[in-house]
Amino acid sequence: MSGENAIRLLLADDHPVVRAGLRAVLDTEPDFRVAGEAATAEEAVALAAAGGFDVVLMDLQFGPGPGMHGSEATAAITAAPDGPRVLILTTYDSDADILAAVEAGASGYLLKDAPPQELAGAVRTAAAGRSALAPSVAHRLMDRMRTPAEALTRRELEVLQWVGEGLSNLQISKKLFLSQATVKSHLVHIYAKLGVDSRTSAVAAATARRLIRR
């Protein structure tokens, strides 16, 4: 396919080896052209805003520190009227990560161990404006839809993720711009849905069910 009609890709991942591996795989597809790379989420947002890309392959976690998360970058990119599609490519498949990405506007969610043909198909699907979800991710979303009363909300998952990081109610309230009373209310609902009675048990149960990131 000519360069003019090729699907132009931006690879956003903080690991050079991962970007090189992705480039090697994607360059074998005649209708793809890797047109740029970004080592940080902030760089991905800036490059996407400058134009010239059809699909961004976005990691979720960009190294340690307070930098922008992949879901935040996804929201910034998809907010633009003519922005490229974003396909999440990550090692994480927790409900918290999946929901954050979907709500941020991601066109697809794929795990890094996906076979090359599945990755190529997901890129083409995303470029066409359709949803491209890994089978395991689609299954988790379907499970949430089947039992909505038992499913933790996006906010409850956020609170629980921070509990798992060891933060107090006060610290969580500051992180999420909530009152401490609201954080406590979320925890009450979390305990009821998970059938537990403590922070430790809630984190253990949620981790076992892959609701939050390990």
What tens-digit pLDDT sequence spans the chain (214 residues)?
A: 445 689 999 999 999 999 999 999 999 999 999 999 999 999 999 999 999 999 999 999 997 777 899 999 999 999 998 899 999 999 988 999 999 999 999 999 999 999 999 999 999 999 999 999 999 899 888 888 888 878 899 899 999 999 999 999 999 999 999 999 999 999 999 999 999 999 999 999 999 998 998 7
Instruction: Output the pTM of the full model.
Output: 0.83
What DSSP assignment string belongs to 72-117? HHHHHHHTSTTPPEEEEEES---HHHHHHHHHHT-SEEEETTS-HH
Six token digits for residue 63 = 């190294």
Give the domains, in start order, of the chain with CATH numbers.
Answer: 5-143 (3.40.50.2300), 152-207 (1.10.10.10)
